């Protein structure tokens, strides 16, 4: 029994160690680190999509942080780093993409559809009002209504 428990504990410890990852190397220069993290905060992780590169723990984010650090060490400006990544991955990597015809459609498309739908609804409601006209009752229908009303008065 003791051997079984010892074997299970040994296997458990191995499985936990297998899932561990190496710690990301810390940059020696705090100014460089701050600049990399500032840039990474403005870029989207393409794997997580809801997180910035600075927040993400994916392998892609770690690779991008290394690449950003390399580009900065080569003397590239922040804008040159962004341009390099946009050229490679498209505008989607930016959290604040530039206003283009495509991004304008994404931002203003729902508003345009809402206004068009409201206009169509108002148009149809006004057209329906003009189409529905009350037809006057015939003499026979008027007599029937009077009889029904008189019956109701006599019962009360």
Asked if 72 and 126 count as a contact pair (C-beta separation under 8 A), the reply is no
Q: What is the mean pLDDT of residues 86-97?
A: 86
Full residue range of the structural domain in which residue 83 is found: 22-93
For the domain that residue 80 is a member of, what is the CATH number? 1.10.8.640
pLDDT band at 8 (very low <50, low <70, confident <90, very high): confident
Number of domains in the chain: 1
The DSSP output letter for 133 is -
Is the pLDDT confidence value at 69 over 90? yes
pLDDT at 113: 95
Residue 123 within any structural domain of the chain: no
The token duo for 67 is 């690449």
Is residue 103 pLDDT above 70, yes or no?
A: yes
Region 7-22: mean pLDDT is 62
- Cα(80)–Cα(55) distance, rounded to whole angstroms? 22
Q: Which residues are CB-neighbours of 2 under 8 A, at least 6 positions away?
A: none
57: left (phi over 0), alpha (psi -120 to 50) or beta: alpha
Residue 61 lies in a domain: yes
Report the alpha-carbon distance of residue 49 to residue 43 in Å, rounded. Answer: 10
Inform me whether the pLDDT recorded for 26 exceeds 60: no
C-alpha to C-alpha distance for 63 and 40, rounded to whole angstroms: 11
Q: In this structure, is residue 108 part of a structural domain? A: no
Whether 134 is covered by a domain: the verdict is no
Q: What is the mean pLDDT of residues 25-54?
A: 82
Tell me the pLDDT band of 23, cut-offs 50, 70 and 90: very low
Q: What is the mean pLDDT of the chain?
A: 82
Tell me what percent of the residues of the chain surpass a pLDDT of 70.
83
Q: Beta partners for 100?
A: none
In a domain, 120, yes or no: no
pLDDT digits over 55-66, tens only?
Answer: 888 898 999 999
Q: How many helices (H) and strands (E) does the chain have?
A: 6, 0
Per-residue pLDDT at 155: 63
Total number of residues shown for the chain: 156
- Residue 121 pLDDT exceeds 90: yes
Question: Average of pLDDT values for 77-98?
Answer: 88
Residue 56's pLDDT is 87
101 in any annotated domain: no
pTM of the model: 0.54
Pair of tokens at residue 108? 């203003």
Is pLDDT at 74 greater than 60 in this prediction?
yes
């Amino acid at each position: 029994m003791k051997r079984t428990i010892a074997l299970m504990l040994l296997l458990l410890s191995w499985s936990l160690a297998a899932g561990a990852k190496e710690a990301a190397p810390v940059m020696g220069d705090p100014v460089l680190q701050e600049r990399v993290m500032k840039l990474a905060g403005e870029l989207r992780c393409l794997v997580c999509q809801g997180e910035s590169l600075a927040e993400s723990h994916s392998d892609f984010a770690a690779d991008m942080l290394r690449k950003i650090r390399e580009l900065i060490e080569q003397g590239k400006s922040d804008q040159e780093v962004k341009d390099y990544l946009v050229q490679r991955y498209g505008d989607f990597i930016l959290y604040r993409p530039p206003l283009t015809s495509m991004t304008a459609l994404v931002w203003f498309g729902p508003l345009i559809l809402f206004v068009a739908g409201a206009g169509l609804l108002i148009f149809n409601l006004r057209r329906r009002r003009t189409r529905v006209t009350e037809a006057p009752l015939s003499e026979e229908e008027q007599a029937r209504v009077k009889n029904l009303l008189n019956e109701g008065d006599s019962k009360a």
